[in-house]
Amino acid sequence: MDDPPAVVYDSKVVDAPLESGERKRWRGVTKHRRSGRYEAHVWVKSIGKQLYLGGYSVEADAAEAYDIAVLYTKKHEVGGPKLNYPVSKYAELIPLLDDDLPLNELVMSIRRQSQTYSRGTSTFRGVCRHPSGRWEARIGVPGCLNSYLGLFDGEVDAARAYDRAILLLKGSGAATNFDAAEYGTQA
């Protein structure tokens, strides 16, 4: 008989079947009742909020998302943060989680790895299919909902228009579709 599916015991821990028949309890992971996906959340005491880290089809992926967020948000905790996996698993990542990294950028980076992150009709940032069949480029601008950049015959052309606009708006550190150096900007 197969193991029963993992069930939510509380808002922080989900049991996961192991090969030995035992169950592993994951921190920061819940199972969505309707979709069946595993969602990762982390409580951030400094802002007094719980942050959603994305939905995952595999529990272990959600557990990793939680761990990464905890390593950033609770790194100064006495005795170190409580993780799902040994801290050694994240040895290469830890140096990148410095205090200069804004929390919202870390959370968005984690969410982009989840299966529930909306990517629209295009594989490129800031690009979607227009009802005319052409490709539309838009960029989010502070104070505006979205700024329209134009319609393009090709998806790649729209992506490059987005890249140029985001580089002008945010500088060489912006997340682009293609290497920023292609636009004469040093990344």
Query: pLDDT averaged over the chain?
Result: 79
Q: Of the residues 112, 147, 171, which one is the last residue of a structural domain?
A: 112
Identify whether 1 is part of a domain.
no
In sign, the C-alpha dihedral spanning 86, 89, 92, 98 is negative
Which of 83, 112, 141 finishes a domain? Answer: 112
Tens digits of residue pLDDT in 21-63: 555 679 999 998 877 889 999 998 888 989 989 888 889 999 9
- The stretch 93-104 carries a mean pLDDT of 82
pLDDT 10s digits, 131-151: 888 999 988 776 666 688 999
The whole-angstrom distance between residue 143's C-alpha and the CA centroid of its chain comes to 23
Same domain assignment for residues 102 and 141: no
Contacts for 177-182: CB closer than 8 Å, 24+ residues apart: 177/124, 177/125, 177/126, 177/127
Is 146 found in the same domain as 90? no
The answer on 85 and 156 residing in a single domain is no
What's the CATH number where 52 sits?
3.30.730.10
- pTM (predicted TM-score): 0.55
Indicate whether 90 and 166 sit together in one domain. Answer: no
Residue 2 placed within a domain: no
Distance CA 154, CA 133 (A): 10
Tokens found for residue 55: 């939905």
User: 161 in helix, strand or coil?
Assistant: helix
In a domain, 82, yes or no: yes
Average pLDDT over residues 108-129: 75
Pairing, β 38-44 against β 29-31? antiparallel
3 state SS for 89-112: HHCCCHHHCCCCCCHHHHHHHHHH
Question: Radius of gyration (Cα) for the chain, nearest Å?
Answer: 20
As for how many domains the chain has, the answer is 2
Q: Which residue range(s) make up the domain with 131?
A: 127-183
Phi, psi of 113 (to 5 degrees): -80, -15
In a domain, 5, yes or no: no
In a domain, 41, yes or no: yes
Q: Select from 61, 86, 112 the last residue of a domain.
A: 112
Q: State phi, psi for 140 to the nearest 5 degrees.
A: -80, 125
